[in-house]
Amino acid sequence: MKVFVTQALPGGGLDRLAAEHDVEVWPQPAPVPREELLSRAPRLDGLLSMLTDHVDAELIAAAPRLRAISNYAVGVDNVDLDAAAARGIPVGNTPDVLTDSTADLAVALMLAAARRVVEGDAFVRRGEWQTWEPELLLGWDLHGATVGIVGFGRIGRVVARRLEGFDCEILHTGRSGGLALRELLERSDFVTLHTPLTPETRGLIGGEELGRMKPHAYLVNTARGPVVDTAALVDALHAREIAGAALDVTDPEPLPGDHPLLGAPNLTVLPHLGSATYATRERMADVAVDNLLAGLAGGPMPNEVTRPGP
């Protein structure tokens, strides 16, 4: 069957896919242009997509032969699950395998922001470090802090386990209980986001929510950029309403170099590196290929998403 992979993947997963099907991989590091993807759609039996690909109703309608979609990500907010379900097309994702790596990065961002790691590195590189000073680049402690985890699913729970070693008090929201968001924001020294992007969570952290946070609190986002209202975050950072923010995801994404967010103070921002370790990205490729092989064979995918999550 004809399969299109929208970017090259690490590891040997694509070799396994190519051993059974006619596979074409987009050769450029940049995402496939929309027009290019639409033009290929009528010939495709299988699609292995990235989170940067909009697999919407238009694309699905343009692919009458499409039998399976495998998304190289945990989130599937880039895929129209209703349109796929209406056609009986299974959609797979890659949960679990990136949980630990993303949790590690969330804790790393807390430490980097609170201890001013990026700012200190730049200070040294500019040649401004002349002597040790008692008040140079003072930050805040993670150990003993109160950390609010918004979204207490796989990744949120692993972050909580990581923070046990820092003697943190853990607060959380989630479908299985926990605090109301308002109380969590008001009590936390760090707020870390681990909720999926849904209509209910889009813009979950806006101006009102940021205003409820402590002036010395930090916001960390390794979930999805649109969970945070970017304009409101820019305003809050400039107004020093919060101590800072550390983001692995942004809205928009990628973030243009002249975006106002990059002019905000006390900001650490990464290019979506939550799962960016050799082992994790290779395992993600294996899971994505397993999903696609199963879907093309007409069987259930090992990790199948059938409806949008709450």
| Residues noted as catalytic | 224, 253, 272
Helices (H), 41-127: 57-61, 81-86, 99-114, 117-125
**Helical axes 99-114 vs 154-164, angle rounded to 10°:** 50
Beta bridge partners of 124: none
- E-assigned strand segments in the chain: 2-5, 22-25, 46-49, 68-71, 91-92, 146-150, 169-173, 190-193, 218-221, 244-247, 267-269, 304-305
- The tokens for 90 are 């299974």
Residue found by looking up tokens 């969330």 in the block: 106
Nearest-5° angle of CA 100, CA 102, CA 105?
110
Give the Cα separation of 193 and 214 in Å (integer): 16
The DSSP call for residue 255 is P
Report the run of H or E that residue 68 belongs to, with start and end: strand 68-71
Q: What are phi and psi of 288, to 5 degrees?
A: -60, -40
Q: What are phi and psi of 302, to 5 degrees?
A: -60, -35
Give the Cα separation of 177 and 194 in Å (integer): 15
- The tokens for 286 are 């294996």
